[in-house]
Amino acid sequence: MGKASLERPLSPRTVHLCIDIQRIFAPGGLWATPWMERVLPVVTELAGRFPERTVFTRFLTPKRPEAMPGKWQSYYRRWRQATREVMDPGWLELLDPLRRLVPPATVIDKTRYSAFAGSTLAAHLQERQADGLIVTGSETDVCVLATVLDAVDFGYRVIVVSDGICSSSDEGHDALLKLYHQRFSQQVHAMTVPEIKEAWAPA
């Protein structure tokens, strides 16, 4: 994987899709991801390059467990403190460096792991004629994974930013990067922010 594996440069229609860089996953949040402070400057730098080409997702928890289907209900009974009838909804906001980029950056809300599930993301990308996705965010082995696999099924060219994703599990993070290389190398590439900045030209 990496820069050499790209068959063509990233076009102006390539969208930076940033997954769930929110207060709830930051230090002090209910679902804190230890790496988030480390990747936030990297993600902010990339989003700031072309904010008009950036889409931020927010993972929104339900007001109460019964608002969700099936096993999600037992999940939110376990994490009732994350429901919006208990938790201050301010914890679901983007972190400040990213909020300042909206607009021109776009925010799309979701309630499932994948950014494509039950959201307006697919329609939004189709409307802007996106031809590829640069993926950053949290967590490597949960919401990022679910989103990447759906993006592959939609036929998008997917570039995972190896220094712009984070997880609560070092093992899960490392395993996913290895999986992309071994099982999805024709559809998923891993690149660093400096490599992306070199390959992603202005319009």
pLDDT band of residue 2 (cuts 50, 70, 90) is very low
Question: Could you give the 3-state DSSP secondary structure of residue 122?
Answer: helix
Task: Give residue-wise pLDDT tens across range 96-132.
Answer: 999 999 999 999 999 999 999 999 999 999 999 999 9
- The second-level CATH assignment, the architecture, of 3-199 is 3-Layer(aba) Sandwich (3.40)
Both tokens assigned to 116: 């494509």
- Residue 38 CB neighbour total at 10 angstroms: 11
Task: Give residue-wise pLDDT tens across range 10-49.
Answer: 999 999 999 999 999 999 999 999 889 999 999 999 999 9
Give the β-pairing of 132-138 and 157-166.
Answer: parallel
What integer is the mean pLDDT of 159-167?
Answer: 89
The pLDDT of residue 4: 41
Domain ranges of the chain: 3-199
- 65-79, 109-123, 179-193: which has the minimum mean pLDDT? 179-193
Query: Kindly report the CA angle at 9 between 3 and 15, in degrees rounded to 5?
Result: 100
pLDDT band of residue 5 (cuts 50, 70, 90) is low
pTM (predicted TM-score): 0.93
Percent of the chain with pLDDT over 90: 73
- Helices 170-183 and 143-153 sit at what angle, rounded to 10 degrees? 10
